[in-house]
């Protein structure tokens, strides 16, 4: 199941998220077949992430809606990070082990061809302000950014802990 949730007032929200993300020291990530302009993925868990404190308050009602669609009362987040992609950046095919769901919120998506791709699925119609949710075992990637525009996402892993009767 792939769920795309539209977040209301995303332009105002995204402006504040970018302001808070800009507070994180420059931290690129380069691995085999993956290059990211800026991320907090590899920063210590104790590092203060104001953007996520703000983000979780905004996204909480949407998470509850997703949990309801999945017949659950309890939807927990066990990890989160942001990533920014500049020209020639990408994130190769990967999964997110040890979690039920992967979630990607699009803060900046200058071109829908830069949206997350899921292996063996048609291209998704993704836009800024969308929250994409899918099973964590699905192979997915961020395609090569051939534009001069930046792409920014906030991603988080989550788990469903119960079944709603």
CATH of the domain at 7: 2.60.120.620
**In-domain check, residue 165:** no
Residue 60 falls inside a structural domain: yes
Report d(CA 64, CA 143) in Å as an integer.
29
pLDDT tens digit sequence for 27-54: 999 988 899 999 999 999 899 999 999 9
Overall pTM surpassing 0.85 (yes/no): yes
Range of the domain at 67: 3-41+48-110+119-134+145-160
Residue 79 lies in a domain: yes
Give how many domains the chain has, as a whole number: 1
Q: Is residue 52 part of a domain?
A: yes
Q: How far is it, in rounded angstroms, from Cα 87 to Cα 73?
A: 41
Structure tokens at 80: 């989160």
In a domain, residue 139? The reply is: no
Q: Is residue 156 part of a domain?
A: yes
**In angstroms, rounded to a whole number, what is the distance separating the alpha carbons of residues 159 and 133?**
11
Give the tens place of pLDDT for each residue, 52-84.
Answer: 999 999 999 999 999 999 999 888 998 999 999
The pLDDT confidence band at residue 1, using thresholds 50, 70 and 90, is confident
Q: Please report, for residues 54, 100, 116, 125, the alpha-carbon distance to residue 122 in angstroms, rounded to integers and kept in the order given.
A: 32, 22, 11, 9
**Average pLDDT over the chain, rounded to an integer:** 95
Question: Cβ(91)–Cβ(31) under 8 Å?
Answer: no
| Residue 130 in domain | yes
* pLDDT at res. 62: 96
In a domain, 140, yes or no: no
């Amino acid at each position: 199941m792939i769920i795309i949730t539209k977040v209301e007032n995303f332009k105002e929200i995204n402006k504040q998220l970018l302001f808070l993300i800009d507070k994180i020291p420059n931290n690129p990530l380069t691995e085999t077949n993956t290059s990211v302009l800026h991320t907090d993925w590899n920063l210590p868990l104790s590092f203060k992430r104001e953007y996520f404190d703000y983000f979780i308050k905004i996204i909480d009602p949407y998470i509850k809606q997703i949990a309801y669609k999945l017949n659950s009362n309890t939807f927990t987040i066990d990890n989160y990070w942001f990533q920014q992609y500049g020209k020639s950046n990408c994130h190769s095919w990967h999964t997110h082990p040890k979690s039920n769901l992967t979630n990607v919120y699009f803060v900046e998506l200058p071109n829908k061809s830069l949206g997350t791709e899921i292996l063996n699925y048609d291209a998704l119609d993704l836009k800024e302000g969308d929250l994409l949710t899918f099973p964590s075992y699905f192979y997915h990637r961020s395609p090569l950014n051939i534009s001069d525009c930046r792409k920014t996402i906030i991603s988080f892993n989550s788990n469903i802990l119960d079944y709603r009767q």
